[in-house]
Amino acid sequence: MKEKILLIEDEKPIRKMLSINLESEGYTVLEADSGKEGVQVCARNLPDLVLLDLMLPDMQGQEVLRMLREFTVVPVIVLSAVSSEKSKIELLDRGADDYLTKPFSPGELLARVRVGLRHAQSSKTESVLEAGPIRLDPSDRTVQIRGNQIHLTPTEFAILALLLQYAGKTVTREILIQTIWGSNENETGSLRVHINQLRKKIETSAAMPELILNEPGVGYRLAV
């Protein structure tokens, strides 16, 4: 069965170009040209991944993201001309899985889509991972910290799952980047942002982490 990608984009030429590229890779593309329509299409069709433009005619993409997260954990990749780290952090806080800055190449978009879909699919087949106060169940994508359930984006989920697999051992930045994003050395900044967001959700104090520890110049270690 073809994987379904929902494209929420109001500019018709961009929407057409993205649709052509996605369909050429074998995906089924669902389209919406407004935030309201995008939420409705997502609820009706349950896509495997959402591409969300931030600038929409009826509402901001941030509000669309909030509405989507009320009923689905599908990977959401935000498309935006704003490249600031602050903007990326705000969107990750709201539940985005990834952030692609315009202009971008078709190849980069398709690579991000593959990564998002891979994260969502792999989480359905792996066994439960536990270490210290953390319990991660890939079958239903739940994470519990000290018995309390928390919500993670698919990328945060994938990072934590990898750290849990090697609990107590240092996982290098290179391995994290290659595993999570593929062979892309430019994702060091993205890794740092996602680690910071993950710490906010699982640490007692993100400023003084006790679970995800930084090994300077090497990578990260999950303390157990």
Tens digits of residue pLDDT in 154-207: 888 889 988 998 899 999 888 888 778 776 557 788 888 899 999 999 998 888
Q: Do domains 4-121 and 129-222 have the same CATH topology?
A: no
Does the pLDDT at position 93 exceed 80?
no
| Cα separation, 8 vs 50, whole angstroms | 8
4-121 CATH fold: Rossmann fold (3.40.50)
> What are the residue boundaries of the structural domains of the chain, listed by start?
4-121, 129-222
Q: What is the mean pLDDT of residues 33-37?
A: 93
143 near 164, Cβ under 8 Å?
no
Is the model's pTM score more than 0.85? no
52: β partners: 8, 78
Instruction: Express as a percent the part of the chain with pLDDT over 70.
Output: 95
For 13, the 3-state DSSP assignment is: helix
Does the pLDDT at position 130 exceed 70?
yes
Tokens encoding 140? 């239903």
Q: For the domain bounded by 129-222, which CATH number is listed?
A: 1.10.10.10
Which backbone phi and psi does 2 adopt, to 5 degrees?
Answer: -70, 140
Q: What is the mean pLDDT of residues 124-130?
A: 71
| Cα separation, 179 vs 188, whole angstroms | 13
Greater model confidence, 79 or 84:
79
